[in-house]
Amino acid sequence: MGILSCPVCKQELKRENRIYKCANNHCFDIAKEGYVNLNSKNKSGDSTGDNKEMAVARRDFLNKGYFNVLANAVLSCANKYSKDGDNVLDICCGEGYYLHFLTKALNRRFYGFDLSKNMVRLASKRKSDATFFVANIANIPLKNNAVDFAFHLFAPFHASEFSRVLKNDAYIVTAVAGENHLYSLKEVLYDTPYKNDENPPDAGDLILVEKIKVKDTIVLNSKEEISALFQMTPYYYHTPSDGKQKLEKLDRLKTDVEFVLYVYKKRK
Ligand SMILES: C[S@@+](CC[C@H](N)C(=O)[O-])C[C@H]1O[C@@H](n2cnc3c(N)ncnc32)[C@H](O)[C@@H]1O
Ligand SMILES: [Zn+2]
Which residue owns the Cα nearest ligand 1 atom 25? 116
Cβ atoms within 10 Å of 249's Cβ, excluding its own: 9
For residue range 52-72, list pLDDT tens digits in order.
888 888 999 999 999 999 999
Read off the pTM: 0.95
Q: What is the DSSP string of 175-235?
A: EEE-TTTTHHHHHHH-SS------PPP--TTPEEEEEEEEEEEEEE-SHHHHHHHHHTSGG
175 CA: nearest ligand 1 atom: 8
Give the residues of the chain that fall short of pLDDT 70. Answer: 42-50
List the domain boundaries for the chain.
14-265
Pick from 61, 63, 92 the residue to mutate for probing ligand 1's pocket: most ligand atoms within 8 Å of its CB: 92
The per-residue pLDDT for 199 is 95
Q: What does the DSSP 8-state code read for residue 257?
A: E
Ligand 1 contact, 136 CB (< 6 A): yes
Does any ligand 1 atom lie closer than 6 A to the CB of residue 154?
A: yes
What does the pLDDT read at residue 220? 97
- Domain 14-265, CATH class in plain words: alpha beta
Q: At residue 27, what is the residue type?
A: C
Q: What is the pLDDT of residue 49?
A: 54
Beta strands in the chain (DSSP E): 14-16, 19-21, 27-29, 36-37, 87-91, 109-114, 130-134, 147-153, 166-177, 207-220, 253-265
Task: Provide CB contacts within 8 A for 241, sequence distance 6+.
Answer: none
**Is ligand 1 within 6 A of the CB of residue 120?**
no
What is the pLDDT, as a whole number, of residue 50? 67
Pocket test for ligand 1, best of 46, 47, 48 (most atoms within 8 A of CB): 48
Cα 254 to ligand 2 centre (Å): 51
Identify the pLDDT of residue 128: 85
Strands 253-265 and 166-177 come out as: antiparallel
What's the confidence (pLDDT) of residue 43? 55
- Tell me, using a 6 A CB cutoff, whether residue 82 lines ligand 1: no
CA distance 231 to 209: 33
Residue from 60, 100, 115, 165 to probe ligand 1 pocket by mutation (most atoms less than 8 Å from CB): 115
CA 99 to chain centre: 8
Model confidence pLDDT, tens digit, residues 178-224: 999 999 999 999 999 999 999 999 999 999 999 999 999 999 999 99
Whether the CA torsion 3, 63, 201, 73 is positive or negative: it is: positive
* Ligand 1: residue whose CA is nearest its atom 27: 94
Q: Are 132 and 141 in contact (CB under 8 A)?
A: no
pLDDT for res 268: 72
pLDDT of residue 55: 87
Pairing mode, if any, of strands 14-16 and 19-21? antiparallel
